[in-house]
Amino acid sequence: MDKMFVIRCKTYLSCVSHFPMGNTVKLKRILSPIGYRCESTLSSEDNIKKFIIENTEVVGDHITPEIRLRLFTPNCRFWYARPELWPFSDPYWAIYWPGGQALARYLLDNPGVTKDKKVLDLGSGCGASSIAARLSGASQVLANDIDPVATIATTLNCELNGTKLFPVVSKNLIGTKPENWELILLGDMFYEEQLADRLHSWLRECIRTHRTQVLIGDPGRAQFEGHTIRKHLQKLADYQLPDSVREQNYGLTTSTVWRYQPLA
């Protein structure tokens, strides 16, 4: 088995105490590492949209059934196809990660959190948290994901839900000069220690500069639980994960929403 792939699986997906290495074969079908990527011939946005529609399934069996999303499922060709046939970078946007599910559920259950606020969804993936913020009355939403394909997938998911379109950008915002966002959302972003360190520093600067509120969704991955940021969090809600989500996330049973409150 490719060493790079195993490392990437450990750092991104598992990040939990007990990673069943026997399941990496299944993961390899879903997430192709850089070494397996082939060159994309799908250059236009319309072609990419068509490709996403043809190779994902509309799903609603998660903890936010109000929101429908185009995701990878066992009914999709690339769930089983050889990873080198996947024409883009790793399709993290095609999975509804448990931290993002908890975060979106919290926003839908507590619309006052986002109502009339300027919201940044950092590492937005499929766009579910952004959509939840818009449905809950946010005055302005910006979805940010460094994968350009994710930005197109988010637009498709907005259309699928009849949600007013919001800007989606692929520029890496971490470490940039903080803007006046009233609320920043992060779902499943603490999967690697170096990234967690950078987020910790940048989020503190956002709060110091603009008194930004920060909400984090995470199912308890090891890199998150063991990071110093945990000392600065207030638990807001726990959510039980459906059986299908548990199976795809190696035994994780709950996902939690935290408020980030650094001391300085």
- Distance, in Å, from the CA atom of 64 to the CA atom of 83, rounded to the nearest integer, reads 29
Alpha helix (H) residue ranges in the chain: 3-8, 24-30, 45-54, 77-80, 98-109, 128-135, 148-160, 193-210, 222-225, 243-248
pLDDT at 86: 85
Residue 218: other Cβ atoms inside 10 A: 28
pLDDT at 167: 95
Rg (CA), the chain: 17
Q: Tell me: the pLDDT tens digits for 200-219? A: 899 999 999 999 999 999 99
Q: Tell me: the pLDDT tens digits for 98-123? A: 999 999 999 999 999 999 999 999 99
| 245 pLDDT higher than 60 | yes
| 238 pLDDT higher than 50 | yes
Note the pTM of the prediction, 2 decimals: 0.82
Strand pairing partners for 118? 140
pLDDT at 176: 94
- Distance, in Å, from the CA atom of 74 to the CA atom of 44, rounded to the nearest integer, reads 27
Q: Tell me: the pLDDT tens digits for 220-234? A: 887 788 888 888 999
Estimate to the nearest angstrom the gap between the alpha carbon of 127 and the chain centroid.
Answer: 8
| 242 pLDDT higher than 60 | yes
User: Is-contact 139 162, C-beta < 8 A?
Assistant: no
| 32 pLDDT higher than 60 | no
Which pair of tokens denotes residue 42? 């799908």
pLDDT at 42: 60
Give the residue, 167 or 9, on which the prediction is more confident.
167
Q: Tell me: the pLDDT tens digits for 38-70? A: 344 566 889 999 999 999 999 988 999 999 999
Burial of 262 (0-12, 13-18, 19+ CB in 10 A): middle
pLDDT at 39: 41
| 27 pLDDT higher than 80 | no
User: Is-contact 168 147, C-beta < 8 A?
Assistant: no
pLDDT at 185: 98
The conformation of residue 126, written as its DSSP 8-state character, comes to: T
Estimate to the nearest angstrom the gap between the alpha carbon of 10 and the chain centroid.
Answer: 17
Confidence of residue 142 (pLDDT cuts 50, 70, 90): very high
User: Is-contact 121 185, C-beta < 8 A?
Assistant: yes
Furthest-apart CA atoms within the chain: distance in Å: 50
